[in-house]
């Protein structure tokens, strides 16, 4: 949760992540407050990844749901607007899917 990089062996500490190490807990704690945290699920093979984002999509926490337990997977600031827009679209798609299942 405090390093960055695609190759696990070459990941380096990220100062912004280190400065915000307490944020994931707060985001998870407020996940039931719809106006503060946006929540949606992304299937990943056998697992599900729960995405929890601040309402402006500037910070994201990802939890890996393994069925029997949930692992904190990653958390980071979303610095670029196109990345935030991608998250908004994913959340909108999730909302639409949930609405279809309800009707």
Residue range of the domain that includes 52: 3-102
Alpha helices in the chain (DSSP H): 15-19, 23-29, 81-102
Are the beta carbons of 53 and 41 closer than 8 angstroms? no
Mean per-residue pLDDT, 67-82: 93
Strands 59-65 vs 12-13: parallel, antiparallel or unpaired:
unpaired
Q: Find where tokens 């990844």 sit.
A: 49
The mean pLDDT value for 43-72 works out to 93
- Mean pLDDT calculated for residue range 71-90: 95
pLDDT score recorded for residue 84: 97
Mean pLDDT, rounded, for 68-86 = 94
How many domains, the chain? 1
Please say if the pLDDT value at position 34 is more than 70. Answer: no
Q: Which residue has the tokens 């670029």?
A: 80
Label residue 33 by pLDDT band (50, 70, 90).
low
**Which residues, 6 or more positions from 71, have their beta carbon under 8 angstroms from its beta carbon?**
63, 64
């Amino acid at each position: 949760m405090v390093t960055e990089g695609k190759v696990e062996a070459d990941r380096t500490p990220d100062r912004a992540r280190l400065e915000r190490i307490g944020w994931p807990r707060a985001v998870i704690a407020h996940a039931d407050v719809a106006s503060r945290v946006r929540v949606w699920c992304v299937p990943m093979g056998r697992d599900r990844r729960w995405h929890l984002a601040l309402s402006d999509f500037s910070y994201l926490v990802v939890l890996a749901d393994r069925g029997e337990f949930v692992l904190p997977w990653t958390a980071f600031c979303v610095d670029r607007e196109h990345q935030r827009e991608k998250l908004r679209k994913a959340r909108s798609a999730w909302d639409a899917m949930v609405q279809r299942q309800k009707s």
